Structure 1
């Protein structure tokens, strides 16, 4: 992803927020046959406060991704959507797409069986915990033999990124009144209404206004 300084995201807390809110990630690696993109749920490492992530892949994806032997790129896609030039008012303009994306790259550390089990349990609990009647990984009718058989079909990994590229393209290069009108359109009921993107734009816009006020 080509970086643009005016759209760069560098705040670790904000990057962690995007990763946590968008756990369905794309893993990009390669083997002797070329590049492969796989899709898995990826979580922040609960024992770390940086951008370290944990996840698993199903066999034989570890081979086609070159897992543990070379750099892996993990892509998180935040809110995104179409922006009409008509929302800019009576000025020359073209359509665009606003979006938030985080790319983490590094060589993953492969996990042993017991640590992989802990990561898998954390993954299940993370999502099941939102339900009124959650079903944990070890809850019957799952038994120890079943869980360990399922684990054996996976490879867990931890990745502490050595390269981070994150971009928040949310009309920051437009005047305040244009940004506010784009947010209004996204909050509306039109065919391109997008509440999640509107909320992300509002968050970024409020932060810029606060930063500007602090130096005035």
Structure 2
């Protein structure tokens, strides 16, 4: 990812926020057979660790652990936040080109494979994380029957923990534009047009401190 200091995102706390709010990740491995990419949800391991530490837990379905050669080499995890098209028509009358605003993080580390018991705990936490918004949450662990089912499904998955050794992240959200242009962009993103994106508008407000 091309480095541009004005758009660089270097605060680990902001990276953790991005992961919490956008846990659907792309996993990329450079294996002996070439590049392999898969898509899975990941969660932060919140307990312990230092202020600058980022640790992910997740799983892959078999045979993805073999295709990725999981645990044998570095894994690239891409987290993608809100993004969208920005028209030059939202600027001023001067000639300009369109662009794309986005926030994303590239996380690197060599994953540690989890035991079956650890994997079950991660799977249970993953289900709880998403189900807690539901009016009647379904749990992976509840009745004895649920536990028996969980024991069967763990055989089809491989859990992992990834301590991020390095990351590059970018928050490209019109930081190089004047306040009046940012206000016009926010107005369109908050509207009902073809490129409306309230999520992207919210991210822009975070970096610009915009009130509207």
What is the TM-score with the length of structure 2 in the denominator?
0.93
* Change in CA separation of 1:11 and 1:5 when aligned onto 2, cut-off 3 Å: same
Match of 2:177 among 174, 185, 193: 174
Structure-2 residue corresponding to 1:192: 195
Aligned CA RMSD, in angstroms, stands at 1.6
The total of aligned residue pairs comes to 208
Deviation at 1:140, TM superposition (A): 4.1
Deviation at 1:141, TM superposition (A): 7.6
Match of 1:157 among 160, 175, 179: 160
Match of 1:66 among 55, 69, 84: 69
Task: In structure 2, list runs of 5 or more residues that go unmatched.
Answer: none
Structure-1 residue corresponding to 2:26: 26
Match of 2:139 among 131, 136, 139: 136
User: In the alignment, is the contact (CA less than 8 A) between 2:18 and 2:81 conserved in 1?
Assistant: yes
Deviation at 1:73, TM superposition (A): 0.5
Task: Map residues 5-44 of structure 1 onto 2, 5 A cutoff.
Answer: 5-44=5-44
Deviation at 1:149, TM superposition (A): 1.5
Task: In structure 1, list runs of 5 or more residues that go unmatched.
Answer: 210-216
User: In the alignment, is the contact (CA less than 8 A) between 2:82 and 2:200 conserved in 1?
Assistant: yes
Q: Does 1:204 align with 2:201?
A: no
Deviation at 1:175, TM superposition (A): 1.1
Q: Does 1:110 align with 2:129?
A: no
What is the TM-score with the length of structure 1 in the denominator?
0.91
SS of residue paired to 2:139: coil
**CA deviation profile, 1:43-96 (whole Å, cap 9, x unmatched):** 101324531110000111011112101000011100000000011111121010
User: In the alignment, is the contact (CA less than 8 A) between 2:140 and 2:147 conserved in 1?
Assistant: no
User: In the alignment, is the contact (CA less than 8 A) between 1:23 and 1:76 conserved in 2?
Assistant: yes
* Change in CA separation of 1:135 and 1:86 when aligned onto 2, cut-off 3 Å: same
Q: How far apart, in 2, do the equivalents of 1:30 and 1:61 lie?
A: 13
Structure-1 residue corresponding to 2:93: 90
SS of residue paired to 2:15: helix
Deviation at 1:196, TM superposition (A): 0.7
Structure-2 residue corresponding to 1:145: 148
Deviation at 1:142, TM superposition (A): 3.7
Deviation at 1:174, TM superposition (A): 1.0
